[in-house]
Structure 1
Amino acid sequence: MHIKQHIPNFLTCCNLLCGCVGLVWLYEGDVEVAVYLIWLALVFDFLDGFVARLLRVHSPMGKELDSLADLITFGVLPSFILYKMLQQQEVDAWVPYLAFLVAVFSAIRLAKFNIDENQQTVFIGLPTPANAIFISSLIFVDGSYPSLLSYPVLLIITILFSYLLVSPMELFALKFKDFGWKGNEVRFSFILFSALSLLFFLHLALPMIVMMYILLSFFVKIISTT
């Protein structure tokens, strides 16, 4: 067996390792390191699929391993971050446990993705990496604008994004068949918006980028059906 067949799975395991180590850092009280590990895992998550396509070494095992890694890194770890944030609010002791709805619905989202062969150019429901980006970036919003993330807001975010994970909403995928403008207008526009937002607002732009992704997908769907 050629070693190149193992490269995508190795990258997926790096994603999983980031999630596991992130949980340790979060347990020890360093939320920022846990967030940075989520962002590092996003790079590995992109690379494993990119390399698999480049080397033409797709496998059923790779698909399953990818979802298992995503569940830990982009499902369980963001849930713990939300749990920590809710713990800091003046709420009943049981309320922070609602954060783990994100992990539950992430598992459902990934299971549905694995048995759906139609999610190539579009996703059905919010992808778990996008959900993880939004939730993980909230700690920086909380640090800069603490009054924005009150208990009701965090609870709404938990419920809303749990629903979005399994919703029937179609969201465009950032997968290019070619790099021409025609047919990729939405993708290029979104990438430009994301780049400019990051340039001006740095990590505080991440929640805006995810919200723009959701809204843009919503309007694209409306336009395509009219």
Structure 2
Amino acid sequence: MSGKSIKVDMIPSVFTLGNLFFGFLAILWTMNGEYKMAAGFILFSVLMDSMDGKVARKLSVSSDFGKELDSLCDVVSFGVAPAVLTYKVLLAAHMGFWGILLAAAFVMCGAVRLARFNILNITTHFLGVPITFAGGLMALLILFHKSLPWVIFPVVLAILAFLMVSTIKVPKLGK
């Protein structure tokens, strides 16, 4: 053991699991047609995701377990939840089966992006747009979906999916 208690080592994971909890709530609220609440829960997931890293750095703790847990939770909160929300709010009515494929592509690109992130261990920048940004942006757009043309949503979803798996260097902010 490193001299730190197990409880201190697990504190960042509480925030990570909070991220997952709000992502799960977003999916449930989407299923119930409460789209603004669902988008709000995704944004709460963004907050939780930003806190786990800050807390880990403040406590000087990190682990492979925490890194993997974070990625698994991120796939749900910023991949599945915004894809399901966007599909239910707009893509189902306007695109049918093609909307399913587009939403699935967003989730799959997010998963690939996170897997790549976990094995590369790049600390100076992100390679590709982070899934947290992509999912958070989709949630924000959904909050204003009645004010925007529906065609923006599949275009933005496709662009974000591509950017997540791209090799564009994105600076890390707020460390």
- 1:139: how far off? 1.8
Q: Give the Cα separation in 1 of the matches to 2:120 and 2:160.
A: 21
What letter corresponds to residue 155 of structure 1 in structure 2? P
SS in 2 for 1:131: helix
Report the Cα offset of residue 48 of structure 1.
0.6
**Displacement of 1:26 after TM fit?**
0.5
Map residues 29-178 of structure 1 onto 2, 5 A cutoff.
Answer: 29-84=33-88, 85-89=90-94, 91=95, 93-97=96-100, 98-118=102-122, 120-143=123-146, 145-146=147-148, 148-150=149-151, 153-176=152-175
CA deviations 1:102-159 (Å, max 9, x no partner) are 10000000000000122x231110001110121111223322x24x233xx3332222
Q: Give the TM-score normalised by the residue count of structure 1.
A: 0.71
In structure 2, the partner of 1:16 is: 20
- Structure 1, unmatched stretches of 5+, are 177-226
Residue 144 of structure 2 aligns to which amino acid in structure 1?
Answer: V
Cα displacement (A) at 1:2: 3.7
TM superposition score normalised by structure 2? 0.91
What amino acid maps onto 1:160 in structure 2? I
Give the ranges of 4+ consecutive aligned residues of structure 1 lying more than 3 Å apart after TM superposition.
none
For 1:157 and 1:61, how far apart are their aligned partners in 2?
32
Which has the higher Rg, Structure 1 or Structure 2?
1
Task: Give me the whole-angstrom Cα distance separating, in 1, the residues matched to 2:154 and 2:40.
Answer: 23
> Deviation at 1:96?
1.7
Q: Is the 8 A contact 1:83 1:100 kept in 2?
A: no
- Structure 1 distance, partners of 2:19, 2:134, is 16
| Alignment partners' CA distance in 1, 2:53 and 2:126 | 15
CA contact 1:125–1:164 (8 Å) conserved in 2: yes
Aligned residues: 169
SS of residue matched to 1:21 = helix
Q: How far did residue 22 of structure 1 move? A: 1.1
Give the SS at the match of 1:168. Answer: coil
Alignment partner, residue 209 of structure 1:
none
Unaligned runs of 5+ in 2: none
Q: Shift of residue 162 of structure 1?
A: 0.8
Which secondary structure does the structure 2 equivalent of 1:7 belong to?
Answer: helix
Aligned letter for 1:87?
A
Larger relative contact order (Cα-Cα within 8 Å, sequence gap ≥ 6)? 2
Aligned-residue offset at 1:5: 1.0
